[in-house]
Amino acid sequence: MAQLTHRTSSLLKPLSFATRHLSSTTPITIETSLPFTGHNIEPPSRSVETTPQELLKFFRDMALMRRMEIASDSLYKAKLIRGFCHLYDGQEAVAVGMEAAITRKDCIITAYRDHCLFLGRGGKLVEAFAELMGRKEGCSKGKGGSMHFYKKEGGFYGGHGIVGAQVPLGCGLAFAQKYSKDENVTFAMYGDGAANQGQLFEALNMAALWDLPAILVCENNHYGMGTAEWRAAKSPAYYKRGDYVPGLKVDGMDAFAVKQACKFAKEHALKNGPIILEMDTYRYHGHSMSDPGSTYRTRDEISGVRQERDPVERIRKLVLAHDLATEKELKDTEKELRKEVDDAIAKAKESPLPDPSELFTNIYVKGYGVESYGADRKELRAVLP
């Protein structure tokens, strides 16, 4: 059996028998699509070490996330998901790349575009769909909704509706990590729209002052709902906004660039305090399902990005170039994932709606026995548990 140790992406002559000779842990080196740009810091190298196993996992995870978001789109149009639904398709590389670089003990906190990050942190498809449809089996028992996915065991702290409010919380998580000295970091994610919030700079100042292991990740998809970044920010170079805090600009559509950057950031944060990562990414859907997404940008732009920079396609090409699977095998995987998602939706649809008594649970922590009245003072009455 031929042991192949290093193959770069420039070798594009697949040998038909070579696929069976790569063991799944053989290291492969891949070059990121673009070099990193650093602010006040030496950027890491462009070469990323990976293995066939990881490559295939990336493909699988990202395709699953993509499939889940598209299924959510149909569910929303079928009026099974109501309210606000913010979809993440196009940005999957950020979620998957970040997961690959960290452990479940590290914390991630984000805003409302949280479905895929929830999956990445160990959330189940059924839990996600049930929560979106407001059922009892949802991750927040149906009481949170699309914008409030949490997974405590997975180190996923949500899921927040108010733009920018999650960043001070993220710095608080980092504070707790420093307090308990457990050598973990927090990734506080926000968007280009939230980058103009004052509380972000307040939190960054405090994180830098006390050397908290906080990594601020700006997922720059270039539009704050309907406002393009150049119309909202005087300086759209979000990675430079930290001034004395170092920053790194990363191609957010390249999962390996994200992985390398997050690994680098984690090492930096544990030693030197906060760092800002700007992920240059793109969302195909509008800001939310109520936004068509085409009034402030052209369809050509969207399809252009889809053709040239799509994260799932990039991984597919890498998998094929390294002969880890055939075109047909990848298509089969996608079919399998589609079925998985459909099964999860079917199961979530069967889940019951929460009990009326659930209206009053989890307002306070147990041990508080006060009566509460509903809108109709005579009938809907419960003792707050």
When binding is defined by CB under 8 A, the residue of 71, 100, 171, 185 that contacts other proteins is 171
Does 146 contact other proteins by CB under 8 A? no
When binding is defined by CB under 8 A, the residue of 118, 157, 187, 256 that contacts other proteins is 157
How many residues touch other proteins under the rule CB under 8 A: the total is 55
Per DSSP bridges, beta strands 371-373 and 381-383 are antiparallel
Q: Which amino acid, one-letter code, is at 266?
A: K
**Which C-beta is closer to other proteins: that of 179 or that of 244?**
179
Cα gap 316→93, rounded to integer Å:
13
Closest CB 61 distance from other proteins, rounded Å: 23
CB atoms within 10 A of CB 74: 11
* Long-range contacts from 294-301, C-beta under 8 angstroms, 24+ separation: 295/226, 296/223, 296/226, 296/227, 296/228, 297/223, 297/228
Does 138 contact other proteins by CB under 8 A? yes
Does 158 contact other proteins by CB under 8 A? yes
Does 177 contact other proteins by CB under 8 A? yes
Stretch that binds other proteins, among 36-44, 68-76, 269-277, 357-365 (CB under 8 A): 357-365
Cα gap 129→202, rounded to integer Å:
36
Stretch that binds other proteins, among 145-153, 246-254, 256-264, 313-321 (CB under 8 A): 145-153
Does 375 contact other proteins by CB under 8 A? no
Does 319 contact other proteins by CB under 8 A? no
Question: How far apart, in Å, are the Cα atoms of 282 and each of 78, 89, 313?
Answer: 26, 8, 14
**Which C-beta is closer to other proteins: that of 235 or that of 362?**
362
Stretch that binds other proteins, among 202-210, 220-228, 234-242, 281-289 (CB under 8 A): 202-210
Q: Which helix (H) or strand (E) holds 172?
A: helix 166-180
Q: Going by C-beta distance under 8 Å and a sequence separation of 6 or more, which residues neighbour residue 176?
A: none
**Which C-beta is closer to other proteins: that of 78 or that of 367?**
367
Q: Which of residues 223-242 bind other proteins (CB under 8 A)?
A: none
Does 86 contact other proteins by CB under 8 A? no
When binding is defined by CB under 8 A, the residue of 22, 48, 64, 169 that contacts other proteins is 169
CA 185 to chain CA centroid, Å, is 16
Tokens of 155: 């180190």
Q: Going by C-beta distance under 8 Å and a sequence separation of 6 or more, which residues neighbour residue 178?
A: 210, 211, 212, 213
CB 242 within 8 A of CB 273: no
Cα gap 248→267, rounded to integer Å:
14
Stretch that binds other proteins, among 235-243, 292-300, 309-317, 356-364 (CB under 8 A): 356-364
Cα gap 265→258, rounded to integer Å:
10
Positions that interact with other proteins (CB under 8 A): 107, 109, 138-145, 148, 150-152, 157-162, 165, 167-180, 182, 198-199, 202-203, 205-206, 209-210, 361-370, 377
